[in-house]
Structure 1
């Protein structure tokens, strides 16, 4: 025992000075003393043994506690996933079944949460109790996993990859989250995962057409199980270490109690010694004092030793933590550390293989082996920087250079270092430094440089706003267009800058759209610094950070001044006659269309007067075209100056004028106006010292008295005017039914046409279209012909007007479309890919299910919809624009191409063009007829139309090409396709097939 041993040592060490007889000493040492030390030691051993034996229950307690600690989050997350899955499957599965499954899952969730609460209240450390709680939790995991297995196997549609994937993603998320909780007890995790995923895997293996590969699912399940097993081992080791640490703490506490007990025992020994010293009388006083001194010294020595040991342990821990932090910091920074011993040329390098791809053994020396890897352009500068630092010229070595990675890729590195040891002569002996890969940084800097260069060199004005809509940066184009420099605008709010003078409502609307949609664009009229006003097309986009938060706004605009002028000029050329200044045919049809629509809405009347100068050709041939042009100009001037009753005066052709009278009261009023016009025409003209007296032939048609259609109204007025000409001219004629000559023949043709539809007498001819860029026939237009049993082949101009009037145009158009689809199929079978354009009448567009008919016809013929093109006339577009737009958008969605025919001759050519989803623009033959005449405006207008179509991203087809000069002109203007008799007239299918083979060969 400690006291006895201590006393024996004491007496032995001091024996030389003892004066007490040895017998007295033996008597003292054999005096009875407390025996608590042996009892306490035995008790400590038993407690230590008990703590070791309790290790397994402690580990089980930690494992079970981990299960229940985070289970509520798991149950809540699972319930959220269950609600999401039921919502997705709601329209695909019987509602009672889904509700029953959701109720079952909700009960399991509720039961799991209640079980967690009960565990927190009632659980003790008894092993049987812990096993009971573990089994209950495992059972809950099995039931929840089974619910998920039932959902994805039996309640999720087998043919819906979306729903299968959605449920599988929810299950995967739960499985991954459960792995972090359930892996503490592996069987508990298996009880959840296997019932959830095995039914799906088995079902996919059994299914002949699995949506998800069963092998991928099996590998994924194996990955989950392996990950959970690894997590289980990690958690078990962590919990075991925790339990072991707790046991060590308990053992330390017990040892501390034992030490205190021994200290108490020592105190008792001291007391006992003091009592003994009193018995030893005066002689023992000296010995007692020595014992106390030795005891005090020993206690102080022990305390100092314990303090030193504790201090050393704390220092070691701090050093280890510091080393770990340093190591992690180096790893996170991706820095390579190097140390170069110049005396041996050996180098130590961390992350060497990661940066270079080579091992330390492959490049043992710093410069000798590094030189071949450094880019030849970078090596001299790197060597100069290194030598400067070695000589002491610079305090630090720093260089950026390219090095060839072992993979063959050039990578950018940055070296930083300095000499840390020199000899007595100043020669460098040792150098340390860092090395990092800056390849990504260099690439990023290059991208930023290119982006800035593009920003500055852009032809459009570009500016950047911060998140408060204040201007931060503008480019050179911005300064050139507006006249403002960066200093004048920087920091100013977007809505209060001198450039954009916008009202508050517009500003708020722009900001709201930017916040909601991320972009805004529109046309504005702004003011330059010098006060000039200019139109611009402004676009503003929101730029978000990587975290999805708005950071900046980028805006750009271009000066539309020149474009507006060109549009105005083109609009004038397209709507006004360049010779006389009055409306041309385009604007005439526009005005007539509006007048008729207005009359329909207001139940009013419209009168159309068509006027020709009698024998105008004789004036041209006799006196020359200049005199004829001056005569036309003077007539137009008289009409615009003196005839104020009419709404529109237009020149339709050489000497053909039209007048539109809107809202007349009686036919006498119209006749009186015609007399006035006739007198104006008849008044003598003095042109180049020539007195000219001319007369006119005027034909009149009335709306709605004579017709309700625009084209028919014009045709009727033309018939009336031709009647005047037939009678010698110089007269006025109203349209009457009697003027419709050949009514019996027309009636017979109508009956024959109806029979022709039943007898399949209509056939289709094909006129090729040449791609001017490839000089190949790639497309054709399907044109109907009537193979009459008595009259032979009849052209469409003879029966199409009758078909339009009688409503037969729709079945004719349907037959032509069906035959065209069948012909495409036949050509495809022969290896010829030709795109066919088919004309579409207004009646087909406005009546019946045109979209369904087109779709069904294409499907029946089994042809690609891209090989079909529908051509629409202006009249079909303007009858009911809103209905037409919707129908055309549906047809275009099928893949069919849309084209507008006879562009430039009608109402819709310019004003309605952008509203319709058109792909092809067909230039009317009238624009090609006189492109090489003395009138330069004809060629100018044709060029403008081609340029306009290209600017609208439309292909251009020119029809009516009859001469080589016309074809060469179209090629020079980058026209896409040409069609006309110069290339080929319409021919039968077999002839067309042979023509294509020969032409394209």
Structure 2
């Protein structure tokens, strides 16, 4: 037993003399070809792909910094681990450690690479994203591809982290790459579309407005919904272009419905990043004027969970919109302590909440929707309950005193033509 322990190599370069075939601590990284050759010979273990990013605009990934990166990687690895250079800012580590220890190694390398890099006149800081893939039974190029896909996932999730490859991850990342390839030019190609979900007065179930919902009708990818589309648009800096198209199309549609004698409102969703644009208020005024739409007929919605990081900017832009006469709404209100604290600061007219607030409260207490409706009344806000999918939810929202509702139980989203046909079932009275 003691002899077996003595013959076992240190897992992470611990004390003891390194094996005779181990590279010296200051050995330069091998190239990709040598790494592939080593992958062929490995029966098991893991491959870590390390992607480097400057921590800020002042960070410099020059030769001295990259040399120190290679040294830290070599120092943090075991004597049999192989360090390779893939590109200017990508390294790889091939280890025969099992999954748990390989993940721990990746975590330690991320921490080691985050330490400051002394430079003349200051320091540089580096962030690292690490992708991990098991090497067992895989062709070298497949293992490299899998580790690189995991590396991309680490970058998307915020960097300074380690991510493992799995088949679902590959499916998601391939989908993401397809979206990134196809989305640029979608506006110019006429692939974007809006559907409209009516908002009804709960007292008499008559329509008072609609919410414009974005759809991307991609010939290659099919219909893509906002929750998948918008994060890609943000990363590609396309939110402004898409947001301008949505606002223009919504105002044009609202003007068309007004000609038919229906005084409905139109709600459009915007992100804090869109609101932060210096010309957002002026651009909104231009769109309203272009189609002769009364400002009070437009509602600009921003989601509550995304507001906190840009609160001061959001407050300023919403105030600017209200000065035009545009109404504003806080969507997806969570009714949590932080939500309540910032609610008084936001210049809004409508408060939109989900159906989860309609159900019975904990320990037999009254439903949260009663509290929110009471709060809205005190602050002069109209409450809209969205996502209503049953008559019981509709009844609960109305019983709490909420004035408006939307959801499948009331009306489904549909193209403009179908919504217009649905409107014909109701009298054209001002709401």
Q: TM-score range by the shorter chain?
A: 0.5 to 0.7
- How many Å apart are 1:834 and its aligned residue? 1.2
Spell out the pairing of 1:512-531 with structure 2 (5 A cutoff).
none
Quote the residue 2:303 is aligned against.
873
Task: Give distance in 2, aligned partners of 1:917 and 1:786.
Answer: 31
Q: 1:908 to 1:861 in 2, by over 3 A?
A: farther
- Which structure would you say has the larger Rg? 1
- How many Å apart are 1:798 and its aligned residue? 2.8
Task: Give distance in 1, aligned partners of 2:220 and 2:337.
Answer: 39
Query: CA-to-partner distance for each residue in 1:329-373, whole Å, 9 max, x for gaps?
Result: xxxxxxxxxxxxxxxxxxxxxxxxxxxxxxxxxxxxxxxxxxxxx
Quote the residue 2:322 is aligned against.
892
The number of residue pairs the alignment matches comes to: 281
| 2:391 corresponds to 1:943 | no
Given that residues 868 and 896 in structure 1 are in contact (C-alpha distance below 8 angstroms), is that contact kept between their aligned partners in structure 2? yes
Structure 2 spans left out of the alignment, 5+ residues: 1-55, 57-105, 112-126, 131-149, 155-160
Q: 1:777 to 1:753 in 2, by over 3 A?
A: same
Task: Give distance in 1, aligned partners of 2:109 and 2:184.
Answer: 42
Quote the residue 2:420 is aligned against.
993
Given that residues 272 and 314 in structure 2 are in contact (C-alpha distance below 8 angstroms), is that contact kept between their aligned partners in structure 1? no
Quote the residue 2:85 is aligned against.
none
Given that residues 784 and 796 in structure 1 are in contact (C-alpha distance below 8 angstroms), is that contact kept between their aligned partners in structure 2? yes
Task: Give distance in 2, aligned partners of 1:790 and 1:667.
Answer: 38
Spell out the pairing of 1:50-69 with structure 2 (5 A cutoff).
none
CA RMSD of aligned residues (A): 3.2
Aligned to 1:956, which of 383, 387, 392? 383
Given that residues 885 and 917 in structure 1 are in contact (C-alpha distance below 8 angstroms), is that contact kept between their aligned partners in structure 2? yes
- How many Å apart are 1:833 and its aligned residue? 1.6
Q: 1:778 to 1:814 in 2, by over 3 A?
A: same
Aligned to 2:263, which of 820, 833, 854? 833
Quote the residue 1:817 is aligned against.
247
Q: 1:745 to 1:836 in 2, by over 3 A?
A: same
| 2:178 corresponds to 1:751 | no
Give the TM-score normalised by structure 2. 0.59
Task: Give distance in 2, aligned partners of 1:836 and 1:957.
Answer: 14
Quote the residue 1:792 is aligned against.
222
- How many Å apart are 1:945 and its aligned residue? 1.4
Aligned to 2:393, which of 963, 966, 981? 966
Given that residues 355 and 393 in structure 2 are in contact (C-alpha distance below 8 angstroms), is that contact kept between their aligned partners in structure 1? no
Structure 1 spans left out of the alignment, 5+ residues: 1-599, 601-665, 672-703, 708-715, 721-733
Q: 1:934 to 1:893 in 2, by over 3 A?
A: closer
Task: Give distance in 2, aligned partners of 1:962 and 1:823.
Answer: 26
Quote the residue 2:343 is aligned against.
913
Give the TM-score normalised by structure 1. 0.26
Aligned to 1:902, which of 309, 332, 342? 332
Given that residues 865 and 896 in structure 1 are in contact (C-alpha distance below 8 angstroms), is that contact kept between their aligned partners in structure 2? yes
Aligned partner of residue 998 in structure 1, secondary structure: coil
Structure with a larger share of its residues in strand: 2
Q: 1:922 to 1:705 in 2, by over 3 A?
A: farther
Q: 1:807 to 1:900 in 2, by over 3 A?
A: same
Given that residues 810 and 841 in structure 1 are in contact (C-alpha distance below 8 angstroms), is that contact kept between their aligned partners in structure 2? no
Quote the residue 1:976 is aligned against.
403
Given that residues 200 and 406 in structure 2 are in contact (C-alpha distance below 8 angstroms), is that contact kept between their aligned partners in structure 1? yes
Task: Give distance in 1, aligned partners of 2:251 and 2:238.
Answer: 20
| 2:271 corresponds to 1:805 | no
| 2:284 corresponds to 1:854 | yes
Q: 1:908 to 1:835 in 2, by over 3 A?
A: farther
Spell out the pairing of 1:234-633 with structure 2 (5 A cutoff).
none
Aligned partner of residue 207 in structure 2, secondary structure: strand
Task: Give distance in 1, aligned partners of 2:232 and 2:356.
Answer: 24
Task: Give distance in 2, aligned partners of 1:800 and 1:814.
Answer: 14
Structure with a larger share of its residues in helix: 1
Aligned partner of residue 230 in structure 2, secondary structure: helix
Aligned partner of residue 393 in structure 2, secondary structure: helix
Q: 1:735 to 1:779 in 2, by over 3 A?
A: farther
- How many Å apart are 1:994 and its aligned residue? 1.2
